[in-house]
Structure 1
Amino acid sequence: MDIKAYIALSLTLFSVGIAGVLLRRNAIIVFMCIELMLNAVNLLLVAFSNMHAASATAKALPTYASDAQIFVFFIMIVAAAEVSVGLSIIVMLYRNTHNIDINFLNRLKN
């Protein structure tokens, strides 16, 4: 698959994530859109890593193709921890306020 297809897919996923963050008011959907943007960046990082490994192999240079994949793996581990903490915060806010609307949660800081 060509790198342009990966760039287009990543750009589409990132744009959907941005649109969801800016347009939606549900905290869970906003949280999922942030994760979608993070996964779009991970996809692009792996695609560029594969492109770099292919060009290094063609030039008979030493390559470390798995470095970006390992980096993405650690990003996904941190994202999983972020999801668990974020969802627990959202659940606790829902238990206390019976609402997960972002505008309502903004008024809690006053």
Structure 2
Amino acid sequence: MLQRDEPASFAHIMQALKLLDPMVTEVVTQAATYFGIGLANLLNILNPEKVVLGGPLMTDSNLFFYTATQTAIRKTYQYPKYQVIFSKGNYGEEAIAIGAALLMLDQLTV
């Protein structure tokens, strides 16, 4: 584990999470809860049918993904009637470029 003066890296946090370190689990759960509240605010404004969440934290931590999405669902104004679908992104860092290309193709075919 970490020494007192050693900064925590993402790899350290993920390893501690896999080992069920109680402090790391609590911090990740709390961060996911706050992320979920922010996500709920976006859901209330935009009302999307589907939300794709990407990045290493979403793909590497089921705890973060589950806590964030469940918090977001419960904090929406129209809960429980509003049903949004959450999924994890599969394209990694290429997602932005792929999305931009698809938007351009969509504009060309209209």
TM-score range, shorter chain: 0.3 to 0.5
Bigger-Rg structure (1/2): 1
Normalization by structure 2: what TM-score?
A: 0.33
Q: Which has the higher helix share?
A: 1
Instruction: Name the structure where strand makes up a greater proportion of residues.
Output: 2
TM-score with structure 1 setting the length = 0.33
